[in-house]
Amino acid sequence: MNGTQCGFCSPGFIMNMYGLLESKGGKVSMSEIENSFGGNICRCTGYRPILDAMKSFAVDSNIEIPKGCEDIEDFGISACKKTGILCAGSCHKPLDILIYSDGTQWHWPRTLTELFDALSKIGNEEFMFVAGNTAHGVYRRSQGLKHFVDIQAVPELKQFSISDEKLTLGGNLSLAETMDVFSQASQKSGFEYCQKLWEHFDLIANVPVRNVSYIIFILFEDCIIFTVINKLIIDRCQLY
């Protein structure tokens, strides 16, 4: 808004804001924007000019953008050669498997069937499911591990449903996605307690980490975040 920050923190704030707008289809409130600032530090400004700039994108914003910033052209560096708009990566053909020279294999299944096919090929050898991989910085994996299965793109593991009696969550929902489900469920009679779950999850780590941390790994990994398990037990949740 007024260029008072030095710029070192700008990439983190910009990526947080971009991710929030993308996930919400561009329709966010000022309170949602302020809550998404977790995990970013600015030592120059006390956040005010950055927060004002970001809040100008909100649907309920009363902050005016300076006229000099209203018509800044986008760089065409990443423009798609076919459409002329920003590249969305849709022309890229994703890999099924990547084998390194040391024998390490990474599998990228995109359906539940492909996931079981990958596990069948691995056989009885040791393997590891990978999603956000956020625990690796704390809990080091086994040195001899050669098979990794990335399950982020398996849609069947990201499904959820809200019935009259229960809320069912797919194990590969991120903490951020799970919070969105809690927020939606809390509006339904009998599920008001989900608002408390949302508030509890909002205290875990920060926005970037919650975007790439998945509930199944927090529940079954030898993880330090036992408070998640305790909260789910208190609210009489069941694992299937």
Q: Are residues 77 and 140 in the same domain?
A: no
Residue where a domain terminates, one of 47, 70, 91: 91
Residue where a domain terminates, one of 155, 171, 189: 155
- Give the chain's domain count: 3
* Residue 192: domain span: 159-234
Does the pLDDT value for residue 5 go beyond 70? no
Q: Are residues 227 and 142 in the same domain?
A: no
pLDDT tens per residue, range 132-150: 887 777 777 778 899 999 9
Asked if 42 and 72 touch (Cβ cutoff 8 Å), the reply is no
Q: Whole-angstrom Cα distance, residue 96 to residue 110?
A: 8
Residue type, 36: S
Asked if 215 and 239 touch (Cβ cutoff 8 Å), the reply is no
Q: Whole-angstrom Cα distance, residue 239 to residue 168?
A: 10
pLDDT at 72: 46
Residue where a domain terminates, one of 76, 91, 106: 91
Q: Are residues 48 and 101 in the same domain?
A: no
Q: Are residues 113 and 195 in the same domain?
A: no
Q: Are residues 171 and 225 in the same domain?
A: yes
Does the pLDDT value for residue 154 go beyond 90? yes
pLDDT tens per residue, range 55-96: 989 999 987 766 655 544 544 456 677 777 766 666 767 778
Residue 117 lies in a domain: yes
Taking residues 195-219, what's their average pLDDT?
A: 85
Signed CA dihedral, 56, 58, 59, 60: sign only: negative
Q: Whole-angstrom Cα distance, residue 86 to residue 48?
A: 30
Q: State the alpha helices, DSSP H only, in the chain.
A: 10-23, 30-35, 48-55, 112-122, 175-185, 194-201, 207-212, 215-220, 226-234
Does the pLDDT value for residue 191 go beyond 90? yes
Residue 197 lies in a domain: yes
DSSP E strands, 38-175: 97-99, 105-107, 127-130, 147-150, 160-162, 167-169
| pLDDT over 90 percentage in the chain | 32
pLDDT tens per residue, range 14-33: 888 998 999 889 999 999 99
